[in-house]
Amino acid sequence: MDPLKRSVYNILADHFSVSAEDISDGIGPGDLVNWDSLGQMQLVIKIEKEFNFKFTVEEIIAINSVKDLMAVIKRHSSNREIEDPIIDQRQNKSIVTHLLRLPRNTYWGENSIRALNMLEQKKVVIVLGSSAYTSGMKQKLSMYLRKSKIDFVQKENGEPQASDIYKAAEALSKHSPDLIIAAGGGSCLDTAKLSWVLYEYPGLKLGDLACPHSLPPLRNKASFIAIPTTFGSGSEVSSAAVFSKDDSMAKTVIVSHELLPDQVILDPNLGESMPLGILYTSAFDALTHAIEGFVSSIVNPAVDPYAIFSVKNIINALHEIQQKGISSRHLYSLCYSAYYSGIVQNHCSAGLTHSLAHQLGNYGIRHGLGNALFLTIVIECNKRWTDRYDQLADGCGFGRADGLITTIKKLIKNAGILPDSEALKKVLDDRDAIIELAMRDITFKTNPVVLKKDELGIIFDRFQKEFL
């Protein structure tokens, strides 16, 4: 075997956590457990970094086997003047997958928190956020875990930071639980997921996990339950967890199906104490997951109905909340819509709105709010190149994409959640740095239209016009 092929085989084996003996020229997407569409996109990024070239859209679509991948690498290796493929202004081609991955059990319904009564685990650690309503959560969860010894770990406010995760992992090691329960918003759930990994493998560092699907098997020490108390992130049904290094504004995404929770409890009553501002930003996060997943270059027809359901119900719930105030019925709708949106995102990824929103944490702009700021602007840019927005709008009863855009803009304006002008000006001042980071984000590759740097500049021009 020539050295180049041996190198590629070793990369594939490492990336998909198999033996090099399992790799052959004839295998391709679907032949290995983790070689699904998400695994394919992560593999592309790894190959690009390893061999210092960029795939074109056509090359990504044409990779149906290891043999095809080798042909692309050899072609670029022999061409020292590799052209920059970023990128013709045209509709992205679709990557098709029909696989569904879900948590083993999901408990639905008001007061479904009582499912905790059925647990047999003896030592439980509950990871909570630091919001004001977490004290009430402690009492509620403890009431249903009387058979177990319970310890609590409290995460600091804000987006997940590496220091938070290491601190939580130390607490887990101290208490040695056989069950970890994460109860909170997306940042709490992601922090708990990654601290769980470090608890199971104390020698690992977060930097060791950047390669997609590189996590060793979990559940040797503990199982994992996710209980969302804000309804938007979809982390409870996601194979990913996001964090930032303490000295960086860039997000790092850890991807492995090992991170899917064993069980999920969806109890809309747990959102009763959620502040209205968090309700709105969480809902816009979920709305963006559904919309960007539906139009993504990764196509999974099995989740299209979930996207339509979520968009329709989130918009209707937010409209009614703004007209009449919040009720338990609205929490019910938002809770389950966020779950379905999370399924869509987990199977189809997201797009440019997320690429940009991922960069705004250091400006004091929560992720869901970042999505709200860019969502309609990105739709207006993308819709010229795909009819999927029209299909989604029609399925939700808004006619065409313009009707959907108008409706979302009104909801965002009426929510009263926009940042102050100083924060927005700082974002605009750093637009070039934000654009550079956004174009490296995994979600940029699954935007339905592959855009050039100057086109992202136009998006910021529209952002300035709309909000300042």
Distance CA 284, CA 408 (A): 9
Give residue 86's pLDDT: 37
| Alpha-carbon distances of 370 from 200, 264, 298, 348, 412, rounded to whole Å | 33, 26, 23, 20, 11
Give residue 346's pLDDT: 93
Distance CA 136, CA 332 (A): 20
In the structure, what pLDDT confidence band is assigned to residue 80 with cuts at 50, 70 and 90? very low
Distance CA 12, CA 14 (A): 5
Task: Tell whether the model's pLDDT for residue 75 goes beyond 60.
Answer: yes
In the structure, what pLDDT confidence band is assigned to residue 372 with cuts at 50, 70 and 90? very high
In the structure, what pLDDT confidence band is assigned to residue 468 with cuts at 50, 70 and 90? confident
Q: For the residues 69-97, what does the mean pLDDT come to?
A: 61
Q: For the residues 21-44, what does the mean pLDDT come to?
A: 80
Give residue 65's pLDDT: 82
Beta-bridge mates of residue 95:
298
In the structure, what pLDDT confidence band is assigned to residue 84 with cuts at 50, 70 and 90? very low
The chain-wide mean pLDDT, for the chain, equals 89
Task: Tell whether the model's pLDDT for residue 34 goes beyond 50.
Answer: yes
Q: Which residue, chain included where needed, has tokens 């009263």? A: 416
Distance CA 370, CA 51 (A): 34
Give the global pTM. Answer: 0.83
Q: For the residues 409-436, what does the mean pLDDT come to?
A: 96
Distance CA 53, CA 59 (A): 12
DSSP 62-97: H--SHHHHHHHHHHHHT-SSPPP----SSBPPPEE-
Which domains, and CATH codes, for the chain?
A: 3-85 (1.10.1200.10), 112-266 (3.40.50.1970), 274-467 (1.20.1090.10)
What digits encode the pLDDT tens for the residues 324-354? 999 999 999 999 999 999 999 999 999 999 9
| Alpha-carbon distances of 125 from 43, 150, 177, 225, 273, rounded to whole Å | 35, 6, 6, 11, 23
Length of the chain, in residues: 468
pLDDT > 70: what percent of the chain?
92
Token reading at 81: 């003047």
Task: Tell whether the model's pLDDT for residue 432 goes beyond 80.
Answer: yes
Distance CA 86, CA 89 (A): 9
Lowest mean pLDDT among 55-59, 207-211, 285-289, 384-388: 55-59
Q: Check whether the bond before 417 is cis (ω within 30° of 0).
A: no
Using CA atoms in the order 71, 75, 76, 80, what is the torsion angle rounded to 10 degrees?
Answer: 160
Using CA atoms in the order 33, 36, 42, 47, what is the torsion angle rounded to 10 degrees?
Answer: 80
Give residue 166's pLDDT: 96
| Residue predicted with more confidence, 208 or 315 | 315
